[in-house]
Amino acid sequence: MHLEKQLETLLPQVQKPARYLGNEWNAVKKDHRTTAVRMAFAFPDLYEVGMSNLGLKIIYEIVNRHPEMLLERVFAPAADMEALMRQQQVPLFALESRRPLREFDLVGFTLQYELSYSNVLNMLDLAGIPFHSSARSGGEPLIIGGGPCAFNPEPLAPFFDLFLLGDGEEGLPELLERWLALRQSGAGRDEILAALAAVEGVYIPGFYRPRYSGGSFSGMELIHPDASPTVRKRVLRDLDSSRFPLAPVVPYIEAVHDRGIVELFRGCGRGCRFCQAGMIYRPVRRRRPETLKKIAREILRSTGYDELSLSSLSSCDYPGIDELIAELNREHEAEKVRFSLPSLRLDSFSVALAGQFRQGRRGSLTFAPEAGTERLRRVIGKDISNEDLFTAIDAAVSAGWNQFKLYFMIGLPAEEDEDVAAIATLCDELRRRIKDERDRWIRLSVSAAIFVPKAHTPFQWEPQLSRSEVGRRQALLRSCTGGLKGVKLSWHDPGSSFLEAVFARGDRRLAPLLVRARERGCRFDGWSEHFSLKRWLDLFEEMGINPEEYAYRRFGEEEPLPWDHLESGASKKLLIREYRRARQDNPSVEVSR
């Protein structure tokens, strides 16, 4: 039976059939018979999560504007759809053409989160594509990985033909053009990979072999003449003139972030020592205000959205952000468009800026103090005082806000019980001070994440706090906030954060574990209703792997790390220097390479 006919019988049986329909507003459909390069963009999570991803929107625009190339989307099917697909032997397919994934020339996975790794293998299995790169012939698509997790892709390395590090809109067009020229010249799979290794930002894991000594990683060996000792990420130097999706696909069902996105700038000049994004997306590159206003105008016209997010890692750091928002509000006042900032930095939030958002607020404003004490904030490189927080909240209250979300972390390096208890003290003092000065009670939603050491950060050498100790500190925080009215506390699961740390600092010895995890039914591990720590711990035990060696061990500064051969833009020398300064409670941060 043709795939279209099969889907006609399957889709009425699933909870959200719109996840698999395609045909959305602004979707691009091209003829497979007349395009020379056919690529699928694979997002290893649900449709509504993937459709919120800016990287997908950018790559979709960049590739599809090329007359000889097409890019289609594919997402991880939900459990009900997967069961039906397996039962009816329906292969994983792309939305635009509903063609099986294995019929494409290339499949590119975006790796945003370590707990999506089991979904990557499950999608390959549903597509009928061999897991291991070494098992694929010239007839299967080339499997590419990108995104933040590509800066330590070693747990996934055997499953990918190549990884592209850095800005996709800079490196992917060159990679696809090279691939096309090589294919038209008659080059085979091995020849193509050898030639693509010369493209800046391309990492071919099959050209490298890890070494181990005494149970620990001891270095990476080059086993192919075209392998480079280091792979440098691609950097888009001129963000302002680069193409941006002005007519993004509008999802059928509500996405996690159901609004238009305008990227103000890329990179971050702050250099917080725990933040991987702040390291791997540097240097800072900005768009001009006129460019941003044009982008906003076009997105609103082409999508019908009534809200635009002005996106970046620290949006308040955009020069003249107050004026930009004021101009956007004036231009789109008649349309009643709301503009929002996804990230607000305490020491750059102003009364004027709070006022600009009054008309478009959706319940609360979000701030991230990260730690309860000024001392610990200095350690992590976030030099923000309690007074900064009071000033920012007071400015927002004066502009009409009364609900706030505050993000903290538990288990940061050098954290003590006093730092945990100080989170509650800070919230209580904040509410009382606003009551005294404004005669208004505010409501606080406090989220306590768990510190996860990430590659290419100054804290990559630091161990994660043990699950038992995390649980004790979470209990301490609950007891301290339990009697506070107007304060709602939520926290991350220690088990899923532990697994995230294992894969964030993992190496290739974890790859066989992932294969077995998929066989045991591990899917959507980032979702609490699907995650089972016991299942993972049982797998670790079966395979003789001690996960605590990855998550809980303090790495030595001179110790080889599985990702040392991949250059993020922040040199190891700089990271070590910042790591040492953190231990001296030094708040100064270097942001240059």
Q: Note down the domain range covering 294.
A: 260-492+556-583
Three-state DSSP string of 189-223: HHHHHHHHCCCCCEECHHHEEEEEECCEEEEEEEC
- CB of 30 closer than 8 Å to CB of 70: yes
Q: What's the CATH number where 463 sits?
A: 3.80.30.20
Has residue 228 been placed in a domain? yes
Instruction: Give the burial class of 13: count Cβ atoms within 10 A of its Cβ; 0-12 exposed, 13-18 middle, 19 or more buried.
Output: exposed
Distances (CA, A) of 132 to 7, 26, 149, 518: 29, 35, 19, 14
User: Do 480 and 413 belong to one domain?
Assistant: yes
Domain-located, residue 283: yes
SS3 label, residue 479:
helix
Instruction: State the pLDDT at residue 227.
Output: 96
Do 74 and 197 have their domain in common? Answer: yes
- At residue 593, the pLDDT reads 39
HSE value, Cβ hemisphere, 13 Å, CA-based, for 391: 14
**Does some domain include residue 541?**
no
Residues 176 and 264 in one domain: no
184 domain residue, yes or no:
yes
Q: Report whether 62 contacts 169 (CB < 8 A).
A: yes
Calpha distance 199→205 (Å, rounded): 14
| Residue where one domain finishes, among candidates 187, 214, 232 | 232
Tell me how many domains the chain contains: 2
pLDDT at 488: 95
Q: What pLDDT shows up at residue 591?
A: 46
Q: Are 381 and 582 in contact (CB under 8 A)?
A: yes
Q: Domain check: are 421 and 488 in the same one?
A: yes
Q: What string of pLDDT tens digits covers the 593 residues of the chain?
A: 478 888 889 999 999 999 999 999 999 999 999 999 999 999 999 999 999 999 999 999 999 999 999 999 999 999 999 999 999 999 999 999 999 999 999 999 999 999 999 999 999 999 999 999 999 988 899 999 999 999 999 999 999 999 999 999 999 999 999 999 999 999 999 999 999 999 999 999 999 999 999 889 999 999 999 999 999 999 999 999 999 999 999 998 888 888 999 999 999 988 899 999 999 999 999 999 999 999 999 999 999 999 999 999 888 889 989 899 999 999 998 898 988 887 677 765 665 676 676 554 446 788 899 999 999 999 999 988 999 999 889 888 888 888 999 999 999 999 999 999 999 999 999 999 999 988 899 999 999 999 999 999 999 999 999 999 999 999 999 999 988 999 999 999 999 999 999 999 999 999 999 999 999 999 999 999 999 999 999 999 999 999 999 999 999 999 999 999 999 999 999 999 999 999 886 555 454 43
Nearest to 58 by CA among 318, 317, 299, 280: 299
pTM > 0.75: yes or no? yes
Same domain, 223 and 267: no
* 459 and 422 together in one domain: yes
346 occurs within a structural domain = yes
Nearest to 565 by CA among 148, 114, 154: 154
CB-count exposure of residue 258 (10 Å: 0-12, 13-18, 19+): middle
Q: How many CA atoms lie within 13 A of 40 on its CB side?
A: 30
Q: Is the dihedral of CA 559, 564, 568, 571 positive or negative?
A: positive
Q: Are 535 and 516 in contact (CB under 8 A)?
A: no
Q: Is residue 537 part of a domain?
A: no
Beta pairing, strands 202-203 & 162-164: antiparallel
Same domain (yes/no): 206, 112:
yes
Tokens of 356: 């600009």
Secondary structure (DSSP) of 396-436: HHHTT--EEEEEEEES-TT--HHHHHHHHHHHHHHHHHHHH
Residues 183 and 272 in one domain: no
Q: Are 307 and 374 within one domain? A: yes
Distance CA 184, CA 37 (A): 11
Whether residue 507 is contained in a domain is answered as no
Supply the pLDDT for residue 586: 55
| 300, 424: one domain | yes
Q: Are 224 and 194 in contact (CB under 8 A)?
A: yes
- DSSP alpha helix (H) spans, 198-334: 276-280, 289-303, 321-331
Question: 278 and 228, same structural domain?
Answer: no
Q: Is 512 domain-assigned? A: no
Give dist(CA 365, CA 354) in Å, integer. 9
Are 215 and 275 within one domain? no
53: CATH: 3.40.50.280
By 3-state DSSP, what share of the chain in percent is helix, strand and coil, each rounded to 5?
A: 40, 15, 40
Q: Give the helix ranges, DSSP H, for 439-571.
A: 467-481, 494-504, 511-519, 533-542, 548-551
Domain boundary among 213, 232, 251: 232
